[in-house]
Amino acid sequence: MSFLRPVIVASLCASTVAAAPPRVAVDAGHTLAEPGAISARGRSEFEFNRELAGQLAPALRSRGARVQEVNPAGTIGSLAARPEQARGSDFFISIHHDSINAEYLEWWDWDGEEMSHTTLKRGFGIFVSRRNPDPGTSLRCASAIGAALRRGGFAPTPWHGRKHQPADAENGVWYYDNLVVLHKATFPAVLFEAGVIKHRDEELELREADRQARMADALATGIAACLSVTRKSARE
């Protein structure tokens, strides 16, 4: 009987490892020093990113995931440092908010200051890279996220089709192979554009705490569903 004991112990250890909850890295895009796009009313993209990332982390924890928050203070040193800080994660999502090229901008007066805005582009987008070491899982999770967002009443923008090849256009997923945070990651990764802060109406929607919470809930639902399927497949 003694020869069975190591086998039983090894089996129990393997079960413990398999049962460990997934670890998700949530990256707040841009920094205080390089805040990204500026909204139609003069607010920095980083502020939007930090708020949504701050909503997503507890939404994931409520589903049993472990969460690694990347760049919550906005002081990270480089793009490559983001996936490095997330080392050991099962999945990485970088939170961003979108803008539009200068030729599509108009001008308006906001609080006595001339600001740029657009009426042409709004909606979310999700990017994946074929240079990521696990592009299949990255795409599968991106599609699950996009589908969950659509079920939650959020609409993807078709605008990215002007520059990027579709990966799953119905669910708002596009290829962007050279994004550093995606191809430098050693785990499945996506970059999420929550909406267009240069769009005057969508900017206000993106600032609503209730809407942020609903979007975070949809993101967490998609991520949790994808990782559940991925981990189940790995065990079979």
pTM value surpassing 0.75: yes
Q: Residue 70 in contact with residue 76, Cβ under 8 Å?
A: yes
- Give the residue carrying structure tokens 């070491």: 133
**pLDDT, tens digit (0-9, with 9 covering 90-100), for 66-111:** 999 999 999 999 999 999 999 999 999 999 999 999 999 999 999 9
By CB atoms closer than 10 A (0-12, 13-18, 19+), residue 186 is middle
Q: Residue 138 in contact with residue 191, Cβ under 8 Å?
A: no
The partner residues of 67 in beta bridges, in order of sequence, read 24
Q: Residue 226 in contact with residue 138, Cβ under 8 Å?
A: no
Q: Chain centroid to CA 56: how far?
A: 9
**pLDDT, tens digit (0-9, with 9 covering 90-100), for 23-42:** 999 999 999 999 999 999 99
Q: What is the mean pLDDT of residues 181-205?
A: 98
CATH number, domain 21-235, options 3.40.630.40, 3.40.50.1220, 3.90.1640.30, 1.20.120.430: 3.40.630.40
Domain spans, the chain: 21-235
